[in-house]
Structure 1
Amino acid sequence: MSNMENVNSEHAQEKTKTKKKWITPKTFPYILVFPAVLLFVVFTVYPVISSFLLSFQASEGGVMSFVGFQNYIRLFNDGLFYQSLINTFTILIIQVPIMITLAILLAVMLNSALIRFNGFFRVSFFLPSVTALVTASIVFIILLDGNYGIVNYVLSTIGLEKVSWLNDPFWAKVSIMLVVTWRWTGYNMVILLAGLQNVSQDLYESASIDGAGKVRQFFYITLPQLKPVILFTVVLSTIGTLQLFDEPYILTNGGPNNSTLTVIMYLYDQGFRYFDFGYASAIAYVLVIIIAVLSWIQLRLGSDRD
């Protein structure tokens, strides 16, 4: 019996040594990182690869089959896709510059020592960005209702005609821009405010000594010093606008006459209304390429050159 016990103890010691060899100072960091890497692969890498392969497939009799570039050929001949692209770029070109300009002005004002209760105003302007998109959109539906909306009530009170905010193609786009601007201006303001607080006050003092007023200081000190931060907010806002979905989906559902149909809404319709997942994946990857190209152009134009 003693011999058997000795053999068993030796086996147990060998197993313990083998286990300890796996956990060494070199392997321990990889063991800690492995769960995060596994989640990233399962929920990010795999879906990206899977959707890319799906963009070359189509459903035939309920079975997905390889069709080559047919989805992409169909996409580039799809007038409704171009309409959604034009709508998205219209909102992007008009709304993003307005929003970034407002964010810069608010950041400069709230960075000034002349404004009292800075903390209160900063939180107030930032709050819309943490408001649920559905909630915000429903509030604007109530405000902009053509018959009973508060905005039209105010307009009629001061003698102006009511505006068909959500039923007219032009005003429907304006309504989307209003909601997006209201929601994200404060978010960009906080980012710009953080950048402003890193600008050395010595620059402003030197400029004041040289006789430069506040306006000249803004254009010759504030804006150049904020250039990297402004570029960052512009790129983020561009990507966010190209992915616009919630606001037009809830406010107008892409109408009237597809005047507020965005690319992501069109992708959603193809994938989850018509269950054409191959075509929806093709739309997604074309949009990814557009976002990548625009981001690259913006970074190239905004980068410092010798």
Structure 2
Amino acid sequence: MNRASLAGWAFAAPALVVLGVFFFLPVMAALALSLTDFDLYALADMRNLRFVALGNYLDLLQTPIFWKALWNTTYFVLVGVPLSIAVSLGAALLLNARVARFKPLFRTALFAPVVTTLVAVAVIWRYLFHTQYGLVNWALGQLGIGAVDWFGDPRWAMPTIILFAVWKNFGYNMVIFLAGLQAIPQDLYEAARIDGASRWQQFWHITLPQLGPVLLVVGVITISGYFQLFAEPYVMTRGDPLQSTVSVLYFMFEEGFKWWTLGRASAVAFLLFLIILAITAVLLRFGRRKELV
């Protein structure tokens, strides 16, 4: 090994140590736990711990609530991710427009929900969507529409959480899209205008292709984040009504810290990890094919 390689490893060593101690070791420990029946009894006396191999995983696949939680999470991702990306891109396009004024003010205002405390804004949203006293139902009443039980009706609980999550998180992607839009050469738009292209044609044939790598990154980040849905149902609905807002992570939390079946909870975490890994791999492969084309 030459001096350059030794110097590289020396500079990378602190980061590798941090990753090993705070990431790889906990992951390996959780993987080991998922292969055991580690629960409250084993926590009290390690002699009660038994190795069950893939028993936790097989048991989870036969548990109806796990499949319901997986469907709730998938529904949240399928609806929330496209909506979040669309709102983020729309806000970035408005901020990037030449006629836009007070851009720093609006950029700060739109990004503010990202840095606000989730619990605080969740409480405010609960009041806004309150069945009897909420501002949303009051506005619907002015239009002659009856009150909706937003958090008590299984049909509306998850859509309300999706709306909250999109509002809370779209500012992060907006900043990424804004940076991508500002990196597109203006000569392309000028040439398109000279050729008589409409704004929609410019967006479809210039903006979107040029934003391809940015869209891929935003898609991977957003999908990974939305699959880890936990805080919103935990704060706003506690998984109700009728378990319509139980997510995979919320189910894992209850398995681990309500029923103290830590082995099953670790198995849930690794199943979710495999799902996110598979979807991310498909997205990256699709993006790589697009680049080759």
What's the TM-score once normalised by structure 2's chain length? 0.92
1:43 corresponds to: 22
CA distance in 1, matches of 2:109, 2:69: 33
Distance 1:35 1:299, change over 3 A: closer
Q: Which residue of 1 aligns with 2:132?
A: 147
1:109 Cα deviation (Å)?
A: 1.4
**Secondary structure at 1:65's aligned position in 2?**
coil
Aligned to 1:53: 32
Indicate how the Cα distance of structure 1 residues 118 and 79 shifts in structure 2: closer, same or farther if over 3 A, else same.
same
Provide closer, same or farther for how the CA distance between residues 25 and 104 of structure 1 changes in structure 2, counting only shifts above 3 A.
closer
1: distance between equivalents of 2:5 and 2:90? 51
1:28, distance to aligned residue in structure 2 (A): 7.3
- What are the Cα deviations for residues 53-99 of structure 1, in whole angstroms up to 9, with x where unaligned? 11000037433221111101101111100000000111111111111
Shift of 1:234: 1.1
Change (3 A) 1:121 1:84: same
- Which position in structure 2 is the counterpart of 1:189? 174
Whole-Å separation in 1 of the counterparts to 2:37 and 2:279: 29
Query: Which residue, out of 90, 104, 110, partners 1:125?
Result: 110
Asked if residue 241 in structure 1 is aligned to residue 226 in structure 2, the reply is yes
Range with greater deviation from structure 2 (218-227 or 143-152): 143-152
Q: CA deviation at 1:122?
A: 1.1
Between 255-264 and 102-111, report the one with greater CA deviation.
102-111
Shift of 1:35: 4.3
- CA separation in 2, counterparts of 1:144 and 1:109? 28
Distance 1:234 1:35 in 2: 31
- With structure 1 as the length reference, what TM-score do the two structures score? 0.88
One of 159, 177, 198 as aligned partner of 2:144: 159
Tell me how far 1:29 sits from its aligned partner.
7.0
Sort the Cα spacing of 1:222 and 1:26 in 2 relative to 1 into closer, same or farther, 3 A. Answer: closer
> Mapping of 1:61-140 within 5 angstroms?
61-62=41-42, 63-140=48-125
In structure 1, C-alpha distance between the alignment counterparts of 2:94 and 2:134, rounded to whole Å: 32
Aligned-pair identity in percent equals: 38
Classify 1:42/1:148 alpha carbon distance in 2 versus 1 (closer, same or farther; 3 Å). same
Aligned equivalents of 1:134, 1:167: Cα separation in 2:
19
Deviation at 1:170, TM superposition (A): 1.2
Q: Distance in 1 between matches of 2:270 and 2:86?
A: 31
Match of 1:13 in 2: none
CA distance in 1, matches of 2:12, 2:184: 37
- Residue 227 of structure 1, CA deviation: 1.1
Between the aligned partners of 1:85 and 1:236, the Cα distance in structure 2 is 19
CA offset digits 1:217-275 (Å, max 9, x no partner): 01110011001111111111111110010011111111101000000000000011111
1:109-166 Cα offsets, whole Å, 9 max, x none, are: 1101111111111111111111111112111111111121121122223322111000
In structure 1, the residue matched to 2:217 is: 232
Aligned CA-pair RMSD: 1.8
Q: Distance in 2 between matches of 1:67 and 1:277?
A: 13
- CA radius of gyration, larger in: 1
Structure 2 distance, partners of 1:248, 1:80, is 15
Letter in 1 for 2:208: L
CA distance, structure 1, for counterparts of residue 49 and residue 18 of structure 2 = 27
